[in-house]
């Protein structure tokens, strides 16, 4: 029922009619528009980020600090996303949900956490 538009790298610039949007490796932005939302001028936006944070993954204080730092990066990205959307295409923006998932990577080449995060926002188009 929803139409999805995925913006990534140079495709974003082509679709938006302007320069390409610089994105962090692993970041993806999905804009969903439902038929009812289209009539009201609201659009849902999902922004996702994936990255790796090297460091200890055990039960110690250093590992706990690393997990907190990784989650903080996701939450800071979510907090700034409305500012970016207001600069580019939104009159108003509201953060609906934020998720962060950490996956321990141990015993491989590099110990650390694979981090996945996403933010769901609702905007009113300019």
Domain locations along the chain = 3-125
Q: Is the pTM of this model over 0.85?
A: no
Tally the C-alpha atoms within 13 A of residue 82's C-alpha that lie toward its C-beta: 16
Query: In order along the chain (126 residues), what is the average pLDDT of each group of 10 residues?
Result: 34 34 51 54 93 94 97 96 95 96 85 96 94
Which alpha helices (H) appear in 7-119, and where do they start and end? 10-16, 35-40, 61-88
**pLDDT at residue number 77:** 95
Are 81 and 47 a contacting pair, CB within 8 Å?
A: yes
**pLDDT at residue number 107:** 74
């Amino acid at each position: 029922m929803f139409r999805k538009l995925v913006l990534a790298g140079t495709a974003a610039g082509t679709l938006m009619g302007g320069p390409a949007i610089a994105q962090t490796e692993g970041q993806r932005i999905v804009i969903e528009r439902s038929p009812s939302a289209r009539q009201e001028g609201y659009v849902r936006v999902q922004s996702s980020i994936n990255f790796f944070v090297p460091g200890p993954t055990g039960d110690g204080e250093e590992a706990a600090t690393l997990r907190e730092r990784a989650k903080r990066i996701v939450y800071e990205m979510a907090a700034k996303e409305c500012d970016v959307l207001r600069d580019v295409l939104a009159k108003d923006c509201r953060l609906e949900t934020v998720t962060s998932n950490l996956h321990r990577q141990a015993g491989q080449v590099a110990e650390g956490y694979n981090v996945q995060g996403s933010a769901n926002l609702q905007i009113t188009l300019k």
